[in-house]
Amino acid sequence: MTAADYVFWVFATATVVSGAVVVFARSLIYSAFALLFTFFGVAGLYVLLGADFLAATQLLIYVGGILVLLLFGVMLTHRIYDLKLRTEKTQLGPGLIVAAGIFIIFANAALITEWPTVGREPAPTTKEIGRLFLGEYLLAFEAASVLLLVALIGAAMIVRRKKDA
């Protein structure tokens, strides 16, 4: 194994193990922090895959934005002095069977399928992705800005109390 392979195993293990903690942890706060490591692990996988721009985006938006939002959600929907922050779990047995079945099917599909193997040598992607955003994907880029506008208006409208309307 090369050094890069070791790094892969480290990131892959971190991703999957912390993903499991997100699902199994009894406390919401533990889940949230485990999610942090999952996002880091995935960002590491992106780096190994040569997706430098995406890795940075993952850190900025997922860790810096989405995770912080989720933490706000955890804190605002529980009294902070309530240290337990337990979440209720149900149907663990059947859930485990379904999830294991799904894993086996998809892992099997990943192994037996003859995927195309054109491949692409790792190279800096930022410039090329920027060109794609303002070229081929111009419309999607603009549509995403409308989406963010709607989310902004919507979220602000929903949490505002009725009186202020």
Partner 1 sequence: MIGLSHYLIVSAALLSLGILGLLTRRNAVNVLMSIELILNSANVNLVAFSRFGAGNLDGQVFAVFVIVVAAAEVAVALAIVLTMYRLRRTPNLDDADILRG
Partner 2 sequence: MEEVLRSLGLFKPEIALTAGLLLVVIVDSIGGAWRNGAVRILSIATLAVALGYAVELQVAGAQGAIFSGMLTVDPLGSFFKIILVLASLLIITAFTFRAARELHGLGQGEFHALILALTLSNLLLAGANDIVMLYLALEMVSITSYVMVAYLKGDRMSNEASLKYLLFGAVSTGGMLYGLSLLYGLTGTTSLPGIREVLATGVPGPQLALYLATLLIVVGFGFKIAAVPFHFWCPDVYQGAATPVTALLSVAPKAAGFGIAVRFFFGTFAVPVTGTWDLSGVIDWQLLLVVISVATMTLGNVAALTQNNMKRLLAYSSIAHAGYILMGIVALSDVGARSLLIYLFAYLFMNLGAFLVVTLVHLHDGTFDLRDYPGLYRRAPLLTLAMGLFMLSLIGIPPLVGFLGKLYVFGAVVNMGSGYYWYAAVGAVNAAIAGFYYLRVLKVMFIDAGNEDKPPLKLAFVDRAWLLFFAAANLLPVLFWSRIDEWARGAVVLYTGR
Residues from 60 through 89 that contact partner 1 (CB under 8 A): 61-62, 65-66, 69-70, 72-74, 76-78, 87-89
Q: What angle do CA 72, 51, 39 make, to 5 degrees?
A: 25
Residue 83 C-beta: closest distance to partner 2, Å: 26
Q: What is the largest CA-CA distance in the chain?
A: 64
* Lookup: tokens for 60: 């900025």
Q: Please report whether residue 148 would count as binding partner 1 according to CB under 8 A.
A: yes
Residue 83 C-beta: closest distance to partner 1, Å: 16
The single residue among 10, 83, 99, 138 that binds partner 1, judged by CB under 8 A, is 99
* Lookup: tokens for 29: 């706060």
The single residue among 80, 134, 159, 165 that binds partner 1, judged by CB under 8 A, is 159
The single residue among 10, 103, 138, 142 that binds partner 1, judged by CB under 8 A, is 103
- Closer to partner 2 by CB, 4 or 157: give it: 157
- Which listed option, partner 2, partner 1, none, makes contact with residue 14 (CB within 5 to 8 Å by class)? none
- What's the burial of 22, exposed, middle or buried (CB within 10 Å: 0-12/13-18/19+)? middle
The single residue among 10, 83, 84, 100 that binds partner 1, judged by CB under 8 A, is 100
CA 49: distance to chain centroid?
16
Residue 41 CB coordination number (10 Å): 20
Q: Please report whether residue 36 would count as binding partner 1 according to CB under 8 A.
A: no
Q: Please report whether residue 155 would count as binding partner 1 according to CB under 8 A.
A: yes
- Closer to partner 1 by CB, 80 or 92: give it: 92
Residue 81 C-beta: closest distance to partner 2, Å: 26
Q: Which of 75, 73, 38, 65 is nearest to 148 (CA)?
A: 65
Give the list of residues 6+ apart from residue 21 with CB closer than 8 angstroms, or none. Answer: 30, 31, 34, 37
